[in-house]
Amino acid sequence: MTVTDEEVSAPDTSTAPGAADEVAAQVVTALARDLDHGFTVLYDAYRGAVFSTALRLCGRWAEAEDLAAEAFLRAYRALAGYGTGRIAELRPRAWLLTILMNLWRNSRRGAARRPPPGPLENAPDPADPAEGVEAAAARHETGRELAGLLEKLPEAQRAAVVLRHVADLPIAEIAVVLAVPEGTVKSHISRGLARLRKLHTTQGAPHAF
C-alpha cells in the first residue's frame, strides 16, 4: 500500500480554514489587550500544532518538547517588544511555526557537536486518552515508522510535508514560514511525498501510512 496525503498526517489538531481565521483573530485581539493573558490564549490555541510539528520534524519526543518550549519562550520575548500595530498584523500560527522552523534548523546544524540522540522508538504520537489499547499500539508503530521515513527526506521536503500534512497549513502560509514561493512549496511537497512512497515500498514496511 502506498503513502497517501491523508496518511502522512498526525492526529488532527487543526481547524477548518474559517475556524482557523477566527481563532487567529481571537488570539491577536487577546494579545493586543493584555500580553500575559493573550499569550495564554496563544499557547492554548497552538500548542498542539507546534508540538506535533516539532515531533515530526525531529522524530524524538524529548527533543520535540524542548523545541516547542523554546519556540513559545522566544515568541513571548518577541511579543513583549511588539507594538499594537505589529500585533494586529500578526499571523500567529505561521509566525509560531516560523520560529519553530528556525530553531529546528539551528538544532540540526549543531547536531554534530552533541551526543547522538535517543532512538526513534522513543517518539510515539501524542496519546489519546479515549483510544483503545490495540489502536494505540498500532498508531505507535505507524508513528515510529513514519518518523524514520521523514528523517530520510531532504530538509526542505521534510519541512514542507510536515507543515502541510501535520500542521495542516495552507500553501500560502507554508510559503511564508519557509520564505519561498508557493510554487516551490508545492514542488517540495510533491517530491517529498513521492520519496516517502518510494522509501516505504523499498523498505517493505509492514504498516501503511
Residue reference for cell 524524538: 60
DSSP state for residue 119 in the 8-state scheme: P
Range in 63-67, 107-111, 125-129, 155-159 the model is least confident about: 125-129
What's the confidence (pLDDT) of residue 133?
A: 38
Closest CA to 30 of 100, 90, 94: 90
Report which listed range, 98-112, 129-143, 182-196, is most confident: 182-196
pLDDT of 68 over the 70 cut: yes
Q: Tell whether pTM > 0.95.
A: no
What's the confidence (pLDDT) of residue 132?
A: 43
What's the confidence (pLDDT) of residue 207?
A: 41
What's the confidence (pLDDT) of residue 118?
A: 53
C-alpha pair distances (Å), 204 with each of 1, 2, 207: 10, 11, 9
Closest CA to 51 of 25, 77, 13, 21: 13
